[in-house]
Amino acid sequence: MLTVKDESFYLEDKPFQILSGGMHYFRTVPEHWEDRLLKLKALGLNTVETYIPWNFHEPKKGEFHFSGMADIERFIELAHKLGLYVILRPAPYICAEWEMGGLPSWLLKDKELVMRSSHPNFLGHVEDYFAELLPKFKRHLYQNGGPVIAMQIENEYGAYGNDLAYLDFYREQYEKHELDTFLFTSDGPNFIGQGSLPEVTTTLNFGSRVDEAFDALEELKPGSPKMVAEFWIGWFDYWTGEHTVRSGDDVAAVFKEIMEKNISVNFYMFHGGTNFGFMNGANHYDIYYPTITSYDYDSLLTEGGAITEKYKAVKKVLSEYTEVPADFEEAVSAKEYGTVAVAESVSLFDVLDGISGKVEHITPLSMEDIGQAYGYTLYRTTFKRQGELKFNSDAIRDRGYIYVNGRYITTTYINDTDKVATLDFPEKVNTLEILVENMGRANYGEHLTDPKGLIKNLWLGEQYFFHWEMFKVELDRLPADYQTSQQERFPKFFRGSFDAEEGLDTYVDTEGFTKGNVFINGFNLGRYWNTAGPQQRLYLPGPLLKKENNEIVVLELENTTTDQIQLLAQPKLG
């Protein structure tokens, strides 16, 4: 197994430099795993690293999911078949710009629970999850004939808390489930003092300033083996921001410095992939920054898996220090399918009963408190009051569409500086509806446990309003009937169909639409927000397509000037 001796890593008692690339099985369709792993191996790397997101595998308490894109064992076995070692990061918190950092939202129903701490309520849920997850890995450990050479304890904990008993709990869990493997923690250089354990190897996460980072490690733990667990070679994008690019020459220069010092390294990311569905996270600092659907990350492979100039620059550096394989022969993987009409349409309000679950309560409840993880929640109440009433929208997380008596009035957003608006209620009896979008829970920092939806009762016109209906729209069900439209108000579903070549990717261009989600044959590709950017097209993996009658559904939240979309051969991230 992997060991440490004389400040270096050893495998089978021989010096071993970990040359790893990060790839998330849960951000790539299984049919593409082998292609991405073969490209990782062709670069000259010997290891693949992946996080393991708790919310992907236990979306509801006690309901476990380990098939399809969640088949982590299949991913490990494939890496082994291709001759790669594996590093696992079960956390259970992963950050990774993933929804709530991988923590399941149902944890938020327990108001006493203290997240990422040794609070017994939290540890109890982790133990239940680990009892399902960890035994799966025993047969995949290196000493048992598998490829897994190392596992991480938590993730960047020094940037969140200082409960070292909590970190020690994970080491005990690995022992309990007989996972006798190499363990490590990882943090940025400024946080290793809070996130490290004395007898566990400390690794570093950074994108540059190699000497400065390892000087901090040497000061904390003299004589430690050196590894960059996350060598940040690109960055993620957020809605309303610019597409981030880091040059291949810059990455290659820092990588050369790492190789000169014989430091082990994991490229974050080798292949980024996609935040399908509602699984994008967010960062919440001065304001709220929701991550886009693409997790291209400006990494060594594009979101669609193509080899980049940055990949070639890194391979050139690597070839100066070790023998690298022959270049990978790429085939055409994307196709332009052209224009697709999405002329059938129906308002969300016409099909609400068929695609949602209803909850009633004296006050509005957050998404988490009504058992909803993702998507949209419609809040509705009726009251006898007439005239203009002051309305404070600070209770709406994250984006709210407000309707009075079935008529759209205004939109609020968590980042709006002016939270107070005036609403006109023209009748003696009025119906107020607020459709709230969860745009992604924070994956990092102090807002990790913030709820979504209407998080408290509204103070409207110097009065609280009671008796609310709440409709959970997670979009695991789509409308069946598009002939029932009785009203024109948005959100609206648009539907069309097209034929395709099986296996060939494409990119969905929704120009003319504003904001919403796209579904292919029932699979949620993710969010688009054309007026915010930077992303302008959604990646559609070819394995999701069939030869004939592919159903495409667009849920448009706000407005559209067209009833057609384009399927093009190239991405557009900025």
Cα–Cα separations (whole angstroms), residue 160 to 156, 194, 229: 7, 9, 18
Q: Within 10 Å of residue 247's Cβ, how many Cβ atoms?
A: 12
Question: Contact, 96 vs 102, CB < 8 A?
Answer: yes
- For residue 208, the model assigns a pLDDT of 98
> What is residue 545's predicted lDDT score, i.e. its pLDDT?
97
In a 3-state reduction of DSSP, which class is residue 468?
Answer: strand
> For 421, left (φ over 0), alpha (ψ -120 to 50), or beta?
beta
- Catalytic one of 97, 99, 154, 156: 156
Q: Find the length of the chain.
A: 574
Is cis: bond before 198, omega within 30 of 0? no
| pLDDT tens track, the chain, 574 positions | 999 998 999 999 999 999 999 999 999 999 999 999 999 999 999 999 999 999 999 999 999 999 999 999 999 999 999 999 999 999 999 999 999 999 999 999 999 999 999 999 999 999 999 999 999 999 999 999 999 999 999 999 999 999 999 999 999 999 999 999 999 999 999 999 999 999 999 999 999 999 999 999 999 999 999 999 999 999 999 999 999 999 999 999 999 999 999 999 999 999 999 999 999 999 999 999 999 999 999 999 999 999 999 999 999 999 999 999 999 999 889 999 999 999 999 999 999 999 999 999 999 999 999 999 999 999 999 999 999 999 889 999 999 999 999 999 999 999 999 999 899 999 999 999 999 999 999 999 999 999 999 999 998 989 999 999 999 999 999 999 897 777 789 999 999 999 998 789 999 999 999 999 999 999 999 999 999 999 999 999 999 999 999 999 999 999 999 999 999 999 999 9
pLDDT of residue 315: 98
pTM over 0.95: yes
Output the pLDDT for position 406.
96
CB 177 within 8 A of CB 127: no
Active site residue 156: yes
pLDDT at 483: 78
Q: From CA 396, how far away is CA 53, in angstroms rounded?
A: 27
| Whole-number pLDDT of residue 133 | 98
Backbone angles phi, psi at 165, to 5 degrees: -65, -35
Q: Residue 503: what pLDDT?
A: 86
Q: Would strands 227-232 and 264-271 be described as parallel, antiparallel, or unpaired?
A: parallel
Query: Token pair of 133, please?
Result: 């997850």
CB-neighbour burial class of residue 485 (10 A; exposed 0-12, middle 13-18, buried 19+):
middle
Instruction: Write the DSSP symbol of residue 470.
Output: E
By CB atoms closer than 10 A (0-12, 13-18, 19+), residue 421 is: middle
- Catalytic annotation on 49? no
- Give the position of tokens 């261009």: 509
pLDDT at res. 332: 83
Q: What is the amino acid identity at position 482?
A: Y
Residue with tokens 């997850």: 133
User: Of the residues 230, 368, 474, 556, which is catalytic?
Assistant: 230
- Count Cβ atoms within 10 A of the Cβ of residue 30 and give its class: 0-12 exposed, 13-18 middle, 19 or more buried: middle
